Structure 1
Amino acid sequence: MADTYYYDVLGISPHASDFEIKKGYRRQALLNHPDKNIGNGDANKKFQEIAEAYRVLSDPQLRAHYDRMGRDGIERQDGHSATDASEMFEKMFSGESFQDWVGDNTILQDILTLSDLHNANNGSDMDSRFTTVVPTHLIDEGDSYFDTRSQLDEAVSYGQFDHRKYQQQRKFERNEIKRAKITKFQEESRLKRRRRVEYVTEKLASKLDAFAGDRHHRRRYLVDIEREAELLKLESFGVYILNTIGEVYTQKATEHGWYNTMGFLSTAWYYPRDKFASAKDTARTVWGLLDAQQAVKEAKLDEMDATEAERIKKERGAEQDLLEKIAAGKLLMSCWGLVKKDLTSVLKEACDRVLYDEGFSEKVLETRAKALMAIGEIFANVHRDPNDQVTEGLFEKIISDSYELSKQRTTKKRNSKLDSKDRPEATDGMAF
């Protein structure tokens, strides 16, 4: 082996498994994150080295090349993030390990793209210039081509330019172009989602059908699922995603049992419950987005003049840092709310296709339902050991820290208000 530097950075053996590489990365990333090493000038450099080491060792081809050639044989990305920002954003809530379970999760990227289309520039620079042009001065009267004013009037005898009408026409054309782009994007998104559901359905059917066999085979199968769950929970938001998959699987397996017992009458029980739960999740997601938006506004002071905003931030001091951490956590949590809602929708549709496929016998469908319930219970019961910081990713840590800071800030403000009031009046009010 030519070089062991990257292994040393992650604190692992050169013969480490993929699981050990991922665990080593999570441990070192948590210990050396710049937010936890404020004042340490080398923290950023160390964190980049950890990310670079993980990028190389987590890729089988790059790792093999590194083992043979060392760091000199690896194409470095000095001065740049080890992972492209858009790629990290797409995979934040479902890494490659979850591909066969949830497909490509691009809901956040799609929302940003759609937002860009809606907020597209209302016209080119040339169009915007017309807003400041005086209609009667569209042609330069000093142009040497025209000798007299009468020749100029004759040249524009087609009529005076209607500036307002022109602007309305241009606005209409821009809106039509924007509408066409949005419609095309929505059609592509629907097609992409349909393909995603088909992919997840195919993979899920394959996993459930592998459950068929004798009792010993099924036990070995579930042990493999448990091992996979232990690995998957190390992914970004891994525990969150596993629990969501588990909840959907157990719900759909239960519904299938009700359907086999009562037929279509079972829908009178679980359909309203499902709709109510969906509406509740939607309300929670919307509230989370509004709460995050308010927290970001409070922290960034975007609506204020830049000078005034800087002055307020300096006055806040440590309070400003606290507000930014709270906003970051709430923003991530609101993003997870959107991802979870989209993820739940895809999983439910895939489960329905697998459990009610008329091309298979009742016996096969019943076996699928049992497998779905078994996997669902395993995933739903996955949790993070509070004493094991390795299984808590950086993004999850930001959310948990944000929650604690927000709770402390709320308690502090409440106590401050109580202290500012007159004691006898506060006591009377509480007694009432």
Structure 2
Amino acid sequence: MVVDTEYYDLLGVSATASAIEIKKAYRKKSIQEHPDKNPNDPKATERFQAISEAYQVLGDNELRVKYDKYGRKEAIPQGGFEDAAEQFSVIFGGDAFASYIGELMLLKNLQKTEELSAADEAEKEKENTESKDESTASNKTDATAAASPSAPTAANSNESDDKAKGSPSDLSVHDGSKKVEQVGTETKKKKTKLEQFEEEQELEKQKRIEQLSKTLIERLSILTESFYDDACKDSFKRKFEEEANLLKMESFGLDILHTIGDVYYGKAEIFLASQNLFGMGGIFHSMKAKGGVFMDTLRTVSAAIDAQNTMKELEKMKEVSTNDSPLLDKDGNEQVKPTTEELAQQEQLLMGKVLSAAWHGSKYEITSTLRGVCNKVLEDDAVGKKTLIRRAEAMKLLGEVFKKTFRTKVEQEEAQIFEELVAEATKKKKHT
């Protein structure tokens, strides 16, 4: 029995509600009470904050146990409650899928990549400038020496002797105005900051794949290390159907589930087919998978270009709307100023295009990571062929469960509204 039901009441669930029910209730309530959905209600923000606090406690197993036993005062998070808008935004792209796909780094690293690329360019320009200055100074010195010849000094004589003996007095040689550091007969090329960063990221990716493959082996072992009969397979399916029903309500959760399912199913199918028909079946499925990778690449690039074009169109519309002087199009006709509503519609369209591009980029990264994980799981030299075949069959079964997961019409509408609100909140946060 719980000593306080206030948080449960705020979310509209019973004290015996499951983690799935609590998360679903939070999503529904947060959409209903979000300040953007209630602009004329001064108490909406207060209710939204209270719902966020309730979820931060009831959504954490340890805090929920404390709350049930001792009440609200004993269940306050160690660092205090997060801002409601911050907590709301965190759920967008949250860590619910971390044990399947790891942390997504592609979009996070875009800004870092741009910064390092710019730093490398600046350093290159600086080196070129210094090289030109050095060359100019050297030419002036040579010109002065040529105009005023004099008898060789002792130092010059020694230098001449060194050259005659073939023993260079310096480890550096000059090629025009450039200094090249030599070790033996090989030239050492200095790595750019971007190259160093990319190498570090590749190492981190391999570590993630290593950890994720261990986690996947543990998941599959629920079936592979059991009696492996139909009853166990049904139990395995039911367990992951329940998990999929929770994950599908995450932002882009259904898309991520289907992506995981496609890779698991496809990789398992390739492995199992390679065990028959002298491996010819595996080659066919492998070629089919490569075709899918190519199409994913095209979609990623296409979505990014589409978002970029929409952004340029919005910039033009804003320029026309804020310019006091009339602007003419390419035919010399005056452009009609867009209304506030038209600008808002274009911003909404851009938000959708940016989200689409972000998803395609993320999907590309997810797919790449999962392929590495599946390869590691199915090419494990530490176990026998029988175990690998069982792993592949269990992986195919899990992939099937994820591929078949769907949202009801009500769930789809709820998830869509939630994603739009979070995207709007994220956009506002970036502008502040």
CA shift in 2, pair 1:98/1:286, >3 Å: same
CA shift in 2, pair 1:37/1:291, >3 Å: farther
Q: Is the aligned partner of 1:380 residue 2:403? A: yes
Fraction of identical pairs, as percent: 32
- Superposed displacement of residue 108, structure 1: 1.7
SS of the residue corresponding to residue 97 of structure 2 reads helix
- Superposed displacement of residue 71, structure 1: 5.4
- Superposed displacement of residue 242, structure 1: 0.8
CA contact (8 A) 1:108 1:335 kept: yes
Matches within 5 A, 1:293-304: 293-300=308-315, 304=319
**Where does residue 260 of structure 1 map in the other structure?**
275
Aligned residues: 346
Render the CA deviation track for 1:152-171: whole Å, top value 9, x for unaligned: xxxxxxxxxxxxxxxxx9xx
**Where does residue 15 of structure 2 map in the other structure?**
14
AA aligned opposite 1:18:
A
**Where does residue 32 of structure 1 map in the other structure?**
33
- Superposed displacement of residue 182, structure 1: 1.9
Within the candidate set 81, 87, 96, 1:83 is matched to 87
**Where does residue 219 of structure 2 map in the other structure?**
207
AA aligned opposite 1:115:
E
**Where does residue 332 of structure 1 map in the other structure?**
355
CA contact (8 A) 2:100 2:216 kept: yes
Render the CA deviation track for 1:248-273: whole Å, top value 9, x for unaligned: 11111211122111344345423332
CA shift in 2, pair 1:292/1:196, >3 Å: same
Which entry has the higher C-alpha Rg, 1 or 2? 2
CA shift in 2, pair 1:38/1:294, >3 Å: farther
Q: How many Å separate the matches in 1 of 2:359 and 2:73?
A: 37
CA contact (8 A) 2:265 2:395 kept: yes
**Higher mean C-alpha deviation, range 31-40 or range 281-290:** 31-40
**Where does residue 105 of structure 1 map in the other structure?**
104
Q: Is the aligned partner of 1:242 residue 2:262? A: no
Matches within 5 A, 1:342-361: 342-361=365-384
- Superposed displacement of residue 18, structure 1: 1.4
Q: Is the aligned partner of 1:366 residue 2:392? A: no
Q: Is the aligned partner of 1:183 residue 2:184? A: no
SS of the residue corresponding to residue 387 of structure 1 reads helix
AA aligned opposite 1:198:
E
SS of the residue corresponding to residue 104 of structure 2 reads coil
Matches within 5 A, 1:389-400: 392=415, 394=417, 396-397=419-420
**Where does residue 233 of structure 1 map in the other structure?**
248
- Superposed displacement of residue 279, structure 1: 1.4
SS of the residue corresponding to residue 97 of structure 1 reads coil
**Where does residue 92 of structure 1 map in the other structure?**
92
Which runs of 5 or more structure 1 residues have no equivalent in the other structure?
128-168, 170-177, 402-432
The two structures, once aligned, show a CA RMSD in angstroms of 3.7
AA aligned opposite 1:372:
M
AA aligned opposite 1:83:
Q
CA contact (8 A) 1:291 1:330 kept: yes
SS of the residue corresponding to residue 287 of structure 1 reads helix
CA shift in 2, pair 1:394/1:48, >3 Å: farther
CA contact (8 A) 2:317 2:343 kept: no
CA shift in 2, pair 1:284/1:122, >3 Å: closer
**Higher mean C-alpha deviation, range 300-309 or range 225-234:** 300-309
- Superposed displacement of residue 305, structure 1: 9.2
Q: Is the aligned partner of 1:281 residue 2:266? A: no
Render the CA deviation track for 1:377-422: whole Å, top value 9, x for unaligned: 1100101101335762545457999xxxxxxxxxxxxxxxxxxxxx
AA aligned opposite 2:23:
K
CA contact (8 A) 1:328 1:398 kept: no
TM-score w.r.t. length of structure 1:
0.69
AA aligned opposite 1:208:
L
TM-score w.r.t. length of structure 2:
0.69
Q: How many Å separate the matches in 1 of 2:74 and 2:344?
A: 40
- Superposed displacement of residue 343, structure 1: 0.5
Q: How many Å separate the matches in 2 of 1:373 and 1:65?
A: 40
**Where does residue 430 of structure 1 map in the other structure?**
none
SS of the residue corresponding to residue 383 of structure 1 reads coil
Which runs of 5 or more structure 2 residues have no equivalent in the other structure?
127-177, 179-189, 327-334, 425-432
Q: How many Å separate the matches in 2 of 1:236 and 1:357?
A: 34
CA contact (8 A) 1:332 1:395 kept: no
